[in-house]
A and B are shown apart, each in its own frame.
Chain A
Amino acid sequence: MIKKKVCMVGEFSVGKTSLTQKFVNNVFSETYLTTIGVKIDTVQIEDTKLVIWDIAGRDSLSPINASYLVGAAGVVLVADGTRLQTVESISEIWSTVREKIGEVPCVVALNKADLEDWCVDNTTIESLRDRGWDVFETSAKDGVMVESLFHKIVEKTKE
């Protein structure tokens, strides 16, 4: 059995836990509960055991703890499509990742696609794609593109 560790990273309150929970347990909650440290979930995708490290988001009190990234085969960069600054900080977070574990495979989730005050334009999405990342406009609430997101990162870690 192949085992792959993948980390969910991004600003606080972008929906890392929601995406993970929707994918692993098919549940969603509107209530915001901050993650402390890391929660580890596993799920079987075909012949692969995917171990998802749902890491606490970066916030005013704490930067991302890079120790959690050690041993990861790939990362999911998550941003909130209704808060532009969380999209803008993807680059910075990616630098942290690269410094710690190098150029691992990566996919981008622009989450909360179900909300009306979506503010990401096509130019921004194109510029993310130009960096070689697959970009998914996800909704943890409706489950839109969630499966695709995780399947893609598994596929990329196997390349």
Chain B
Amino acid sequence: MTEDSPQIQQLKVRYRQSFPEKLAIIRKARSELLQENNITFAREELHKLAGSSGMYGYSELAANCRSAMEKLDTRDSLSSLEAIDAVIKQLDSKI
């Protein structure tokens, strides 16, 4: 593929700038999972992040999100939390 157009590059910058916001959402999802066992919210947000991060080339982050979703589906809360923590750590490292 040819190199990205300047607009796409710009969009990628903006996407990266949205990481703090996304981090806050995933943290919220983590605490809601912990306190209220709100699996739906966590799953939805991970799903969104998996979709967009993959599109912007953050394949490892997307893979982590997908793995966290799978953990959530097994209803194993401990490994779900671990997987979400991995997503959080990764997001945090990119800010």
The answer to whether A and B touch directly, with their CB atoms under 8 angstroms apart, is no
Q: A interface vs B, CB < 8 Å?
A: none
Q: B interface vs A, CB < 8 Å?
A: none
